[in-house]
């Protein structure tokens, strides 16, 4: 029963972070929520006895995708600033 409780809690956390990713007003927060979501996915894969996917999710899903998204948000922000022609 312990493990089922953990699964249900993790499921709720996944859905909560996913909802935040889409619903929060600030883009940076949205991306951070997404990275949190990715890290929770790593746990979910571990629970599903899928260590290969957990490794890939950590490095690619949360890590690289997160870095790409953060960099892009920064890029969009920087260009929106008045007087910035970069």
Partner 1 sequence: MNRALRAAVVLGAGLLAALLVAAILALPVPAVRLPALVAAHLPASGVTHPVTAVLLNFRGYDTLLEVAVLALALVGLLAQSPPRELTHAPSPGEPVLPLLARVLVPFLILSAGYLLWAGAHRPGGAFQAGAVLAAAAVVLHLARLWPAWDRPGRGLRLGLVGGLLLFLAVAAALLAGGTLLRYPPQLAGTLILLIEIGLTVSLGLLLAGLFLFLAEPRSL
Partner 2 sequence: MSSGLVYAVVGVLLFVLGAAGMLLLPHLLRKILAFNLLGSGAFLILVGLAQRDGGVDPVPHAMVLTGIVVAVAATALALALLRRLHALSGRTQLADESADE
Least separation in angstroms between CB 83 and partner 2: 14
Who contacts 52 (Cβ-Cβ below 8 Å, separation ≥6)? Answer: none
Q: Are 53 and 45 a contacting pair, CB within 8 Å?
A: yes
The answer to whether 68 contacts partner 1 (rule: CB under 8 A) is: yes
Near partner 1 by CB under 8 A: residue from 6, 19, 48, 71: 71
Q: Are 19 and 40 a contacting pair, CB within 8 Å?
A: no
SS3 (DSSP) at 62: helix
- Of the candidates 50, 15, 51, 52, the one whose C-alpha atom is nearest the C-alpha of residue 36 is 15
In the complex, the residues that contact partner 2 under the rule CB under 8 A are: 3-4, 7-8, 11, 14-15, 18-19, 21-22, 27, 30-31, 34, 37, 41, 44-45, 47-50, 52-53, 56-57, 60-61, 64-65, 68-69, 72-73, 75-76, 79
Binding residues vs partner 1 (CB under 8 A): 51-52, 55-56, 59-60, 63-64, 67-68, 71-72, 74-75, 78
């Amino acid at each position: 029963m312990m493990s089922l409780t953990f699964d249900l809690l993790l499921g709720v956390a996944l859905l909560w972070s996913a909802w935040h990713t889409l619903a929060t007003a600030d883009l940076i927060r949205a991306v951070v929520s997404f990275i949190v979501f990715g890290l929770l996915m790593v746990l979910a894969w571990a629970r599903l006895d899928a260590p290969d996917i957990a490794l890939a999710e950590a490095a690619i899903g949360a890590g690289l995708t997160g870095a790409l998204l953060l960099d892009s948000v920064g890029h969009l922000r920087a260009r929106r600033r008045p007087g910035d022609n970069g």
